[in-house]
Amino acid sequence: MKFKKITGLIAATFTPFDSNNQVDLKIIPQYKNLLAHNNIKGAFICGTTGESSSTSFEEKKQVIDAWAKCQEDNFKVIAMVSGTNQKEGIALAKASAEAKIYGISLNAPYYFKTATVRQLVDFIKPIAAAAPDQAVYFYHIPVLTHVHLNMLEFLDIAGKEIENFAGIKYTHNDLMEFNRCLRVEHGKYDILWGWDETCLAGLAMGAKGAVGSTYNFAAPLYNDILAAFQSGDMEKAKKLQELSIDFISLYAKYGGAAAGKAIMSMVGLDCGSFRAPIKTLDSIETQALHTALEALGFFDFASSLPQI
């Protein structure tokens, strides 16, 4: 593999919207500074958290161009360019290549689904070819795509046929398959853990890098989990992971995905609301969420904006 493996945390970023529900690009430099200040190693943009299914082609391209200006050697930008539309994926891959971001990602088509690994690789190949110098990651998230394909078979075929294939963003709970993917060809591929509330489990199975939405606003917590795990203090790592589990468990009560953007505002960066059909929290719900987070001690581990 010609791409160096990612270690540490990559934030799956929100797409910021203004009060008129339009993409707010001016926030992105400050957003990048927030992430870098909290030891986040990059941004995974236009993905599930970035509302890829609710944003237009032109909006995605604008977001890619804006984040590309934040690309640095120690801060990688990866854009999700496709989910269902191969032609749009090719166009966004070309835009990503022109913007010179580090990588692109795609998930399995989730409307007309790929029934076999062969179909999935054939869907991805022309998109990957449109960004030949970018690392290509498959975004495996069967809980949303409902595409349950064997990732070992996928690595075997994609690794042979896609020259710039780097690995998988693995957002699934099959720890046995995840570990086996890590060990393919003596660890050839970059397999990134994608389930925040089980980050410790991913580390225990061999993960070195992870991508997640809650790293946006709770990076110190997860960096402490990483540090505790690496030092062998499993009891501390488990207690910190339990805090992650507890605050993520609040999502179901306080707006689901919308809770994430509400928490971003609480740590100092207003990314606006989610687009329909996701429900926006009202002021009473937001205050109740804040109170619940305080009761957990969440803000002792929350991300902070750099001092100007």
**What's the 3-state SS for 109-175?**
CCCCCCCCHHHHHHHHHHHHHCCCCCEEEEEECHHHHCCCCCHHHHHHHHHHHCCCEEEEEECCCCH
Rounded Cα distance, 100 and 132, in Å = 11
Q: How far apart are CA 278 and CA 261, in angstroms?
A: 11
Catalytic choice (31, 139, 222, 254)? 139
Backbone conformation region of residue 171, classed left if phi is above 0, alpha if psi is from -120 to 50, else beta = beta
Backbone phi, psi, residue 23, to 5°: -55, 130
Asked if 168 and 198 count as a contact pair (C-beta separation under 8 A), the reply is no
Is 49 one of the annotated binding-site residues?
Answer: yes
Tell me if 103 sits within 8 A of 134, measured CB to CB: yes
* Catalytic residue from among 32, 61, 76, 169: 169
Q: Judge contact between 186 and 206, C-beta under 8 A.
A: no
Q: Any idea which residue has 């990602």 for tokens?
A: 105
Catalytic, 139? Answer yes
Instruction: Evaluate whether 194 touches 170 at the Cβ level (below 8 Å).
Output: yes
81 is in an annotated binding site: no
Q: Encoding tokens for residue 192?
A: 């990134």
Q: Annotated binding site: which residue ranges?
A: 49, 211
Q: Annotated binding site for pyruvate: which residue ranges?
A: 49, 211
Give the residue numbers marked as catalytic. Answer: 139, 169
